[in-house]
Amino acid sequence: MDTLISMKVFRHVVEAGSFVGAAERMEMSAAMASKHVMHLEQQLGARLLNRTTRRVAPTEAGREYFERLSQVLTELEEAEQVVGAASVVPQGRLRVSSLSAFGLSYLMSAVADYAAQYPKVTVEMTLSDRLVELIDEGFDVAIRASPTGLKSSSLIARQIATAHLVLCASPEYLRRHGTPEKLADLARHNYLQYAGVAAPELGLANGDAGQRMRLSGNLIVNHLEALRVLVLQGAGIAMLGTEVIGGDLAAGRLVPLLVNEVPPSELPIHVVYASRRHLSAKVRSFVDFLATRFANEALWPSFEQIMALAVS
């Protein structure tokens, strides 16, 4: 049995989570796909997969083998395409994870154009506000936003755009509850919190130097679009990025609050990928495409525009 084919089958089994999915990609039967993995396990002398009636999942040894094998097979597939000094043609399955709001508002149109330009690449999109484990979960690329930067030394991050974090509320909420004129006024307002992110602690402008106030409220959600809906419905105030609420600010559906005391802070948007000496053509082309695409478009209100939109 061809060990190289067995390696490719194993990679597809892990990516698809089943022998059936791998068999479809390799154009063979599920039974044959299972035999290939068994052959590989015998060759290595280690169990690579845990098998149940519903799904298969890699063992600890299988996960480590998968990570290393994926790099080797990617480089091998590229090497097979190279003729002389010719460039590698982007092709294959590209798994991308993106922030939901950014993905819906901006990324999907870019992905459609990328797919049209690179028809040999199959882009598999996952929209989620959860911080995915890029390598462990088998993603090639992720779109992330973080005001504090990206700390993982095993990943490469390339900034493609900049949004801003803005304290905001709907006009209806402000009509019912009043517009805060100073930081101390926020104590009587309902702060809507994004799950997993601590509510901001602000210094009181008219208090002692060490006096601090933490915003609080009675609603916590784990999805940025859900948080946006709550703010639009007048449920309270929130701190949201303009990649989520840029259009709402521009249309007047939401207004910035206390911009002098809580000025909009930069929120860098990065495209993130695994650090490899030889980057695959599909990842390289996708990263370059996004960097060019968003560098040439004005996506969000500028800092100055946000300040001008603020409630006086």
pLDDT in tens, 26-43: 888 988 988 988 998 898
Residues of the chain with pLDDT > 90: what percent? 29
pLDDT at 254: 94
Are residues 156 and 272 both part of a single domain? Answer: yes
Q: Which domain holds residue 175?
A: 164-265+301-309
Residue range 14-27: mean pLDDT, rounded: 86
| CATH number of the domain within which 280 lies | 3.40.190.10
Residue 123: per-residue pLDDT: 95
Q: Are residues 282 and 136 in the same domain?
A: yes
- For residue 243, pLDDT over 60 is answered with yes
What is the CATH classification number for the domain harbouring 59? 1.10.10.10
In 3D, which of 192, 215, 191 has the Cα closest to residue 202?
A: 215
The pLDDT score that the predictor gives to residue 211 is: 59
pLDDT in tens, 176-194: 999 998 888 898 999 999 8
pLDDT at 86: 33
| Mean pLDDT over the full length of the chain | 83
Collapsing DSSP to helix, strand or coil, 72 comes out as: helix
Residue 145 sits in the same domain as residue 196? no
- CA dist 243 and 165 (Å) reads 9
What does the pLDDT read at residue 268? 86
Task: Report the share of the chain in percent with pLDDT over 70.
Answer: 85
**Distance between CA atoms of residues 17 and 74, nearest Å:** 19
Confidence of residue 111 (pLDDT cuts 50, 70, 90): very high
Do 134 and 283 belong together in one domain?
Answer: yes
Shared domain check, 276 and 196: no
List, as one string, the DSSP characters of 180-244.
--SGGGGGGS-BEEETTSPPPEEE-TTS-TT-EEE---SEEES-HHHHHHHHHTTS-BEEEEHHH
Q: Is 70 exceeded by the pLDDT of residue 204?
A: no
Does residue 249 sit in the same domain as residue 192?
yes
In the predicted structure, residue 117 carries a pLDDT above the cut 80: yes
Distance CA 115, CA 106 (A): 15
pLDDT given at position 312 = 46
pLDDT computed for residue 229 by the predictor: 95
How many residues are recorded in the chain?
312
The answer, yes or no, to whether residue 18 has pLDDT greater than 90, is: no
Same domain for 200 and 150: no
- Considering the domain architecture, whether residues 24 and 147 belong to the same structural domain is answered as no
Residue 143 is encoded by which pair of tokens?
A: 């779109």
pLDDT computed for residue 156 by the predictor: 86
Neighbour-count burial for 34-65, b at 16+ CB within 10 Å, e otherwise: bbbbebbbeeeeeebbeeeeeebebeeebeeb
Q: What pLDDT, in 10s, does the model give residues 284-301? A: 999 999 999 888 554 566
pLDDT given for residue 126 in this prediction: 92
Residues 305, 183 share a domain: yes
How does DSSP classify residue 104?
Answer: I
Indicate whether 254 and 190 sit together in one domain: yes
Whole-model pTM?
A: 0.64
Query: Does 23 map to a domain?
Result: yes
More confident site: 204 or 250: 250
Which of 81, 109, 132 represents a domain boundary (last residue)? 81
Q: Residue 227 and residue 221: Cα distance in Å, rounded?
A: 6
Do residues 169 and 236 share a domain? yes
Phi-psi group of 152: left, alpha or beta (phi > 0 → left; psi -120 to 50 → alpha; rest → beta): beta
Tokens of 63: 């996960």
239, pLDDT greater than 60: yes
117: three-class secondary structure by DSSP: helix
Q: What is the pLDDT of residues 122-169, one digit of tens each?
A: 999 999 888 888 877 889 999 988 766 566 556 888 888 888 889 999
Are residues 183 and 250 located together in one domain of the fold?
yes
* pLDDT score at 287: 93
At 52-106, the pLDDT tens digits run: 767 788 898 889 998 888 888 888 876 665 543 334 678 889 999 998 888 888 8
Structural domain count, the chain: 3
How many whole angstroms separate alpha carbon 88 and alpha carbon 78?
A: 6
